């Protein structure tokens, strides 16, 4: 498990953040964040005030120790690296009990200051961009904010799509999960969202189309909810395009692989981050080497799959 709890001895009175800075060789901001997350404990109780005075004695600190599984970058420079993230793996640990995430590989290779600079859903596979140091992280994150980084995805969707199309529908965050497990939904009061789509391949036997997806904006679950809106849900999507009961079972961790296969149409979310293009001195264009188009074996036969479109 990448988070460990270790005891340390405080030799003299000092602010909590300063003790963490000196013990772990962190910047002040990094040390303050660690304390604010409750990872510094006295007598088993977390303290959350970075300026709190620590008296001489024993404290405990919970901190991240990366544990690599040997994944190497697809491409790298002295400033950044690009990984092929598998489906089913988080980018960052979402709790201290998360057994493994891509952050394990990123920090194993380049230390505490290396970080992922954007997020990909756990179920989505494909290209993940990570910085090797804080200067690169700040530049790349600001590039995403300025829309200087273009991304494209591939998706296997239910049904036949014959022509290119776009969806220009606003997306709103869902604050009530009592009747719908969708994280976001289409709503006129939501934020502007635009995605372009282009059909690449139709498999008649599976009644499934491979689409190239070009998100112009970057809203949460944008591609997923836009395709659900036009009644071509992404195969394997356990949230959009399935029933409330199936989505709830997935979120509770009680959906069996067999139920997942038939109720959502695939063993996994059939969405893949295919390309990245961005300036960093030179202009980089990076394409995934995974044969996502060939992953048809992950898709449930048409006559067995069940949808709530």
* Active site residue ranges: 121
Taking the CA atoms of residue 49, residue 53, residue 57 and residue 59 in that order, the dihedral angle to the nearest 10 degrees is: 10
Burial class (CB in 10 A: 0-12, 13-18, 19+), 50: buried
- Does the CA dihedral 99-105-110-114 come out positive or negative? negative
Query: Whose structure tokens read 């304390």?
Result: 35
Q: Angle of helix 244-252 relative to helix 257-264, nearest 10 degrees?
A: 150
Residue 296 and residue 206: Cα distance in Å, rounded?
8
**Number of continuous H segments (helices) and E segments (strands) in the chain:** 7, 18
- Does the CA dihedral 93-193-289-110 come out positive or negative? negative
Tokens standing for residue 242: 């399935």
Q: Which residues pair with 299 in a beta bridge?
A: 266
- Distances from the Cα of 58 to the Cαs of 40, 102, 128, 245, in angstroms? 11, 33, 40, 49
Residue 115 and residue 128: Cα distance in Å, rounded?
11
Residues 6+ apart with CB under 8 A from 39: 46, 61, 62, 63
Helix or strand holding residue 28 (H, E) = helix 28-36
């Amino acid at each position: 498990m990448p988070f460990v709890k270790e005891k340390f001895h405080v030799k003299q009175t000092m602010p909590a953040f300063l003790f963490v800075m000196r013990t772990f060789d962190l910047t002040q901001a990094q040390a303050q964040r660690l304390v604010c997350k409750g990872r510094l404990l006295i007598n088993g109780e977390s303290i959350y005030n970075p300026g709190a005075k620590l008296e001489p004695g024993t404290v405990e600190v919970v901190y991240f120790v990366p544990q690599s599984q040997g994944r190497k970058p697809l491409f790298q420079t002295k400033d950044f690296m690009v990984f092929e993230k598998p489906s089913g793996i988080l980018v960052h640990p979402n709790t201290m009990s998360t057994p493994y995430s891509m952050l394990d590989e990123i920090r194993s290779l380049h230390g505490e200051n290396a970080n992922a600079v954007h997020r990909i859903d756990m179920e989505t596979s494909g290209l993940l961009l990570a910085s090797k140091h804080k200067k690169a992280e700040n530049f790349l994150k600001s590039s995403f904010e300025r829309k200087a980084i273009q991304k494209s995805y591939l998706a296997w969707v239910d049904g036949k799509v014959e022509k290119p199309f776009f969806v220009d529908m606003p997306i709103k965050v869902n604050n009530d999960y009592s009747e719908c497990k969708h994280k976001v939904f289409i709503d006129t009061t939501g934020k502007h969202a635009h995605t372009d789509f282009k059909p690449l391949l139709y498999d008649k036997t599976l009644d499934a189309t491979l689409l190239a997806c070009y998100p112009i904006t970057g809203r949460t679950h944008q591609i997923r909810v836009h395709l659900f809106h036009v009644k071509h849900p992404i195969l394997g999507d356990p949230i959009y395009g399935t029933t409330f009961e199936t989505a709830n079972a997935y979120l509770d961790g009680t959906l069996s692989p067999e139920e997942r296969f038939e109720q959502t149409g695939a063993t996994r979310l059939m969405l893949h981050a295919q390309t990245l293009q961005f300036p960093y001195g030179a202009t980089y264009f990076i394409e995934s080497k995974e044969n996502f188009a060939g992953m048809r074996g992950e898709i449930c036969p048409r006559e067995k799959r069940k949808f709530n479109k």
